[in-house]
Every structure is written in C-alpha cells, then in structure tokens.
Amino acid sequence: MHMRLVKFLLGLGALLLLVFVTFPTTIQIVYGAGAPPTVAITAPGQAASFTAGASITLEAATTDGDNEVQQVEFYVDGAQLHTDSSAPWRYVWTGAELGAHIITAVAVDQTGNRTTAAAVDVAVLRQQGADEPYPPSPLILGLHWAPTSSIERYAGDSDNWTLTWADDGQLYSGYGDGRGWEPKVEEKLSMGYVAVSGNPGAISGVNVRSPDEQPYGGGANGIKASGMLMVDNVLYMWARNVVYKGNGCKLAWSTNHAQNWTWSDWDFPDFGYCAFINFGQNYAGARDGYVYMVTPNGPSAYNAYDDFVLTRVPQAQIRNRS
C-alpha cells in the first residue's frame, strides 16, 4: 500500500475516534418482555381455618428468569388487600370476617408482566362456646334458605319422599300416604315408589309400580319408607312402622330400580326412624368402605328423643344384621 494512503487512513481513523469521544451517545438498554414471573402462595395453606380475631399471615414466593419482580399484590375475595414492594412478600391480615375466603396473589415484574397465583381457600370460624362439646365446623360455615318463591311443588298429596341418586342418573324415592306423581296411581298408598329426573324448572317423575307397594294405612298404621340409598347399583331402603304401629325398622333391597324388593328376615325393633347417609351418585363419593345409618334413639317414629344413634356397616355386608 502507498505510504501516503496509509497516513491518510490513519489520520481519518484518528479523526473518527476523536469525533466519537468528543460527542458521546447516550445508550438506552431496552428490556424485552421476557417470560412472566411465577408466584405461589406459601401461607396460609389450602383449607386452613382460623378463629375470629386471629392474625393471618399471607406469604408468597416468586421467581423470574428474565426480569426482576417489582411487587406482589395480595387479594382476598377479589379485593386488593395489600401491595408489597420488596421481598420477602408477606402481609399480616387482621380483622377477617367470619366465613369462607379466597386468597390470591399477583406478581408484577419490571416490564409489567403479571402472574396470578393459584387461589387458596380459608375459613374464619367463630369462637367455640363454653357449653359446646366440639369446635365449629370448618366445612359447614352457615345455612341459607332460598326464597319461598323459588320452591317447586309436585305430587302434593304425598309425603316423606326419601331420596337417593341412582346409577342411571335419576332420583329414586319412597313416598308415603299418597298417590305419587302425575298421573297419579288409582288408590292411595301407604308406601309407593317414584323415579325423578330433570333439573330445577324442568323436573319430571314416573311412578314405579311394584308388587311391594304398601296399601294405604294412614300415619303409624301403614309401612313407610324412612331411608333410601343406592350402593353398587343396588337400591336399599329402610322401612318403618314394621314391628308395631309406628315402631321398628326393616331393610329391603332392589336390583331392578324399585320394581321388586327383597326383605330382610330381621328388623330393628328398638329404632323407629332409620335413615341412610347418602354421598353422591350410586354412593360414589364415599370416602371409606362403609355405609352409615342414623336414627333417633328410640323405637317410635312419632316420638321425640334426646339423642341419635350413628351406626356403620361394611358395604359388602349391608344385608347382614350383625
């Protein structure tokens, strides 16, 4: 290369370097959106319960591989309760109202990405009374009745209506002292059977005729259904008033959806109103291998007693007395 050209290029490079140094440019780093943060509620635990007046600590854990988490927002029942701007992400909640609450948390990173944590359900319970033998239930927090205007009425001349949710999706019932569903049966029965289907606003029923219907006997003078349960596709029924007027219970079962019944050769003369505890369709929700029965602790279905008896039996032995 010619010497003069080399000198010219070197001089031009120095000039360019001089210009760069003399007029610096402000460099702005622009972050990409990146991955959103992750967030999880670490306290309280799922289904935790607290007594009214207790302080409830809310805690969250976050991660973000691309950007820094700038804040965590805590929400209770959809309303923002607190915003924490630095880790550890924690807030002490006081003055919680009685009842069930849903807690969530939202993590926000420096680019505005937001992630909501999985919700945690908690319950705030009233204090146990001095005369109460057990603490308030963390599952049953209250009872609210629907307005009377929402009640749908059917088969008005029959009563009792013990119910169970069967394998075919219908509700099976034993009614008493009536003529069942429309179109009604010709003769009033002490005990008849109905299959009910549909949803609120569109309910229908069908009378299930059976040779095991009980002819009319008003009140204690006729056999009545007191409990109904389907287990493993078999329909079981407790019938009352079987020993004497208003006294005693007997078990029956049907393998064809209440059309025919087999009766046990034993009864419970000391229990007057035996009833099953249902748990889902075809008893599918049961948490153990037992079937449960509850009854007032006395022989009559028409007298009041001070306590109840709860019994259980393995599902495979329902038909056995002992």
Tens digit of pLDDT at every position of the chain (322 positions): 444 443 433 344 443 333 334 344 444 444 446 889 999 999 999 999 999 999 999 999 999 877 899 999 999 999 999 999 999 999 999 999 998 999 999 999 999 999 999 999 999 998 888 888 888 887 787 788 889 998 888 998 899 999 999 999 999 999 999 999 999 999 999 999 999 999 988 999 999 999 999 999 889 999 999 999 999 999 999 999 999 899 999 999 999 999 999 999 999 999 999 999 999 999 999 989 999 999 999 999 999 999 999 999 999 999 998 7
Do both 100 and 226 map to the same domain?
Answer: no
Q: Is residue 32 part of a domain?
A: no
Residue 117 structure tokens: 């944590």
- My answer on whether 62 and 202 are in the same domain is no
* Residue 306 to residue 36: CA distance in whole angstroms: 61
Is residue 242 domain-shared with residue 105, that is, in the same domain?
Answer: no
Kindly state whether residue 322 falls inside one of the protein's structural domains: no
Tell me: do 105 and 159 sit in the same domain.
no
Report the alpha-carbon distance of residue 120 to residue 165 in Å, rounded: 31
> Could you say which of 105, 125, 145 is where a domain stops?
125
Q: pTM for the full model?
A: 0.64
**Looking at the structure, do residues 275 and 163 belong to the same domain, yes or no?**
yes
Q: Which of 120, 128, 85, 115 is nearest to 100 (CA)?
A: 120
Domain that holds residue 98: 38-125
Question: Looking at the structure, do residues 254 and 182 belong to the same domain, yes or no?
Answer: yes
Pair of tokens at residue 276: 């099953």
- Residue labelled with tokens 């037992």: 290
How many Å apart are CA 202 and CA 200, to the nearest integer? 5
Domain count, the chain: 2
Residue 100 lies in a domain: yes
Structure tokens belonging to residue 274:
């035996």
Rounded to whole angstroms, the Cα distance separating 70 from 189 reads 73
Are 42 and 163 members of one domain?
Answer: no
Q: Is 118 found in the same domain as 160? A: no
